[in-house]
């Protein structure tokens, strides 16, 4: 089962969700992420994920237009903007939405504790949601 985590920039929230899913979920779940308007990887995202042992150095910001959407079983939007601008994906049987705060608004300084704390809070909130998502999907 392939789950696409979609946000606007594919630079933070969807990248975190994909990374958590790849770390926490067993087969048959597979996770990918993309953005409606990719903006490149956010360096603070990589910093806070590295704090929990997840390396994002091989991740890059992808456009939803670059993916083979025929392989997507579940569409999971993680920001309101992506939910509102979500492309129609024919044949996707399940769509879920959870809006997470945009930590980008806190800034991009990976040495500023206040900025890091905002990203950490979003990271941890996404982890909790991703941990529970397979059980939610099984009930749908």
* Average pLDDT along the chain: 89
What is the reported pLDDT for 88?
Answer: 63
CATH architecture, domain 2-132: 3-Layer(aba) Sandwich (3.40)
Percent of the chain with pLDDT over 70: 92
pLDDT digits (tens, 9 = 90+) for 111-129: 999 999 999 999 999 999 9
Q: How far is Cα 33 from Cα 46, in angstroms, rounded to an integer?
A: 15
Residue 87: pLDDT over 80 = no
- What does DSSP say about strands 30-35 and 74-77: parallel, antiparallel, or unpaired? unpaired
What is the reported pLDDT for 140?
Answer: 57
Instruction: Say if residue 118 is preceded by a cis peptide, omega within 30 of 0.
Output: no
Percent of the chain with pLDDT over 90: 56
What is the reported pLDDT for 122?
Answer: 97
Catalytic residues: 7, 79, 86
Q: How far is Cα 103 from Cα 120, in angstroms, rounded to an integer?
A: 9
Work out the average pLDDT over 105-109. 88
Poorest-pLDDT segment among 1-5, 29-33, 78-82: 78-82
Please provide the distance, in angstroms rounded to a whole number, between the alpha carbons at the two ends of the chain: 14
């Amino acid at each position: 089962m392939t789950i696409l985590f979609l946000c606007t920039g594919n630079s933070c929230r969807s990248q975190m969700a994909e990374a958590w899913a790849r770390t926490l979920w067993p087969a048959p779940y597979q996770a990918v992420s993309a953005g409606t308007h990719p903006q490149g990887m956010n360096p603070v995202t990589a910093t806070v994920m590295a704090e929990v042992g997840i390396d994002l150095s091989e991740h890059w910001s992808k456009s939803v237009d670059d993916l083979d959407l025929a392989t997507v079983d579940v569409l999971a939007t993680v920001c309101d903007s992506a939910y509102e601008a979500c492309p129609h994906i024919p044949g996707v049987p399940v769509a879920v939405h959870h809006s997470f705060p945009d930590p980008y608004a806190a800034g991009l300084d990976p040495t500023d504790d206040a900025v890091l704390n905002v990203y950490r809070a979003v990271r941890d909130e996404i982890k909790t949601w991703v941990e529970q998502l397979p059980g939610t999907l099984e009930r749908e």
